[in-house]
Structure 1
Amino acid sequence: MTSDDTARPAPTSRSVETLSALSPDRTEAVLALLAEAAAADGQQAVSEQGRLRLRGGERPGVAHLLLTLGTELVGYAQLEDTDPVEAPAAELVVRPSQRGHGHGRALGAALLAASGKRLRVWAHGGHPAARHLAQVLGLTLFRELRQMRRPLAGLELPEPVLPEGVTVRTFVPGADDAAWLAVNAAAFAHHPEQGSLTQRDLADRMGEPWFDPEGFFLAERDGALVGFHWTKAHAAERLGEVYVVGVRPGSQGGGLGKALTTIGLRHLAGRGLPTAMLYVDADNKAAVSVYERLGFTTYETDLMYRSES
């Protein structure tokens, strides 16, 4: 959520259109808007998952809201309503040159209407303008997601110690998809964004330029998948990411998660990347503690707000 609505008069030609899928031209226009906003803000307003949803046609439960002035695209929001329990989740952005005209408030109002006033909204980076917009829309702070970082140069980590009977290999696209999706769903049953990934979501990521199966580590015991560490390299930013670490329920508590994390960090350091990053919920005290012991510190925080309805 990126906006700055300090209450200037709203243009009369403003309109908001809601679509279930975007044409290629509109997709490119939205991606250009996101890139322009990211350059100005130093932070993406729409998550990787949201950006992947822009392409490939209609997706169940996903809506795209385009705010225009005449023919100019000045704002975008995405609404995702697939969780059977939680309120629909949204992200939104306004073109930097068009902020301060009430466009963010208009997109927020449209999201509230489309969700029946049951809404969760991300503010990536927690910028003050986004916090102000959340207050204007009557939303309250609900969740904090920390981005943590640590240097990889001169990395000194102990040799990873795997639980007895566990071996580690790398992911084989096509052969390991179903097994990984099953363990990911089990490991993140409490986490709707990660745990609900489908074959289409996995295929989207495998089609991205950053995907490298050599950085996707699988832990097995007796031929069955028990855990994984998927790393990611952000080449332009010179960042390595602990993209996702998961351990199958029943295999937790034996140090497997820490060993997999160490294996992935060593891989990223071996690629010459100077810094590692990861995302973790602030209220997941156990995970935060593990990462702090591995040398990570908080770099910035994403905030999620929700309606009280």
Structure 2
Amino acid sequence: MSDRRIEALTELDQATADAVLGLIAAAAAEDGQPAVSEQGRLHVRRGSREGIVHLLLWAPGADADGPAGDEGEAEGEVLAGYAQIDGSDPVEAPVAEFLVHPRHRSHGHGRALGHRLLGETGKRLRVWAHGGHPAARHLALQLGLKLFRELWQMRRPLDPADDGLPEPVLPAGVTVRAFVPGRDDAAWLRVNSAAFAHHPEQGGLTQRDLDDRMAEPWFDPAGFFLAFRGEVLTGFHWTKVHAEEGLGEVYVLGVAPGEQGGGLGRALTTIGLRHLARDRALRTAMLYVDADNAPAVAVYERLGFTLHETDLMYRTEN
């Protein structure tokens, strides 16, 4: 019988948030990528959000990372696992991500968190397994979850001296400039929502979501390209630099519905990649794309991208 304890919180104090981020970092160092997405980590760092629930799994013992909270210290508990539920979508099933600290694995903590997630959401749940590791696949089967989505991370080399990319050809009448914070926020949110109407995770971004990202150390408006037809925003390519890994990312690429199919997306992709290669002197570019989005995959493959790793999403059948 385990003495583990799981508590559900809608808000984290700073010490607890720091402990959660430390747990995520420790697991990422072991697994090769974070088990909680950028959006999920922002929910930890930037305070409470409606529809977000944090599950903390405490286990007996001492830990170099330290417990987060006087109660945990008094009882000799350590933060051994974490889960996050995003129930902000009023239509789709809640989305969850969860992990166990590498030093506390193989003790049933992951299965316990999984069952608690099912209980918290009424057994209506979608769960990410970033990297698709065998242990995560096995746990999904134990919990009765079924695979239904694959998100590919694709990469291609960059050469700062000679990027090997074609000259970008913009549609007639379209110009490109960099994003100006405060000036372009509302227009970008409108086009992002329209371009990703089929994709609630991206299309549902709000001003607060944009503000959270602009407050991150990596944000650089010089790498956030906007395309205009006259005064009307028609598309964008937001790049991101992962400085520690030496990676440049096609962070978000979107084209307004009325402009799709005219070559704007390819031109914006090339503009962003040239920026990452020439202006930021990066040697590798990455992006994420749904595996079943054949047209987008074909475009990226023609630009030299190949599959690097796969994130898997599972869901309950009901």
Question: Residues 157-306 of structure 1 correspond to what in structure 2 (within 5 A)?
Answer: 157-270=165-278, 271-306=280-315
What one-letter code is carried by the residue in structure 2 that aligns with 1:111?
L
2:32 counterpart residue number: 42
Of 150-159 and 299-308, more deviation after overlay is shown by 150-159
Percent identity, aligned pairs only, is 71
Q: Is 2:105 aligned against 1:99?
A: yes
TM-align CA RMSD: 0.8
- Taking the aligned partners of 1:49 and 1:105, their CA distance within structure 2 comes to 24
Q: How many pairs are equivalent?
A: 299
Q: Is 2:313 aligned against 1:307?
A: no
1:29 counterpart residue number: 19
C-alpha displacement of 1:83: 1.6
What one-letter code is carried by the residue in structure 2 that aligns with 1:192?
P
**Secondary structure, counterpart of 1:250 in structure 2:** helix
- Taking the aligned partners of 1:218 and 1:294, their CA distance within structure 2 comes to 20
- Taking the aligned partners of 2:11 and 2:210, their CA distance within structure 1 comes to 20
C-alpha displacement of 1:287: 0.2
Runs of 4+ in 1 over 4 A off after TM superposition: none
Question: Residues 31-70 of structure 1 correspond to what in structure 2 (within 5 A)?
Answer: 31-70=21-60
Conserved in 1, the CA contact under 8 Å of 2:46 and 2:212?
no
Q: Is 2:130 aligned against 1:121?
A: no
Q: Is 2:72 aligned against 1:82?
A: no
- Taking the aligned partners of 1:136 and 1:209, their CA distance within structure 2 comes to 39
Deviations 1:73-109 (A, max 9, x none): 0000000012222110000010001101110011101
- Taking the aligned partners of 1:102 and 1:35, their CA distance within structure 2 comes to 21
- Taking the aligned partners of 2:191 and 2:302, their CA distance within structure 1 comes to 26
C-alpha displacement of 1:135: 0.3
What one-letter code is carried by the residue in structure 1 that aligns with 2:25?
A
Match of residue 111, structure 1, among 97, 114, 117: 117
**Secondary structure, counterpart of 2:312 in structure 1:** strand
Match of residue 19, structure 1, among 1, 4, 9: 9
**Secondary structure, counterpart of 1:242 in structure 2:** strand
What one-letter code is carried by the residue in structure 2 that aligns with 1:280?
V
What one-letter code is carried by the residue in structure 2 that aligns with 1:283?
D
Gaps of 5+ in 2: 61-76
Conserved in 1, the CA contact under 8 Å of 2:248 and 2:286?
yes
- Taking the aligned partners of 1:55 and 1:101, their CA distance within structure 2 comes to 28
- Taking the aligned partners of 1:151 and 1:57, their CA distance within structure 2 comes to 37
Deviations 1:112-166 (A, max 9, x none): 0111100000000000000000000000001000000000014211111111110
Deviations 1:234-274 (A, max 9, x none): 00000000001000111101000000000000000011101
2:72 counterpart residue number: none
Deviations 1:34-62 (A, max 9, x none): 01000011111000000000023220111
What one-letter code is carried by the residue in structure 1 that aligns with 2:304?
G
Gaps of 5+ in 1: 1-9
- Taking the aligned partners of 1:57 and 1:209, their CA distance within structure 2 comes to 17
Structure 2-normalised TM-score?
0.93
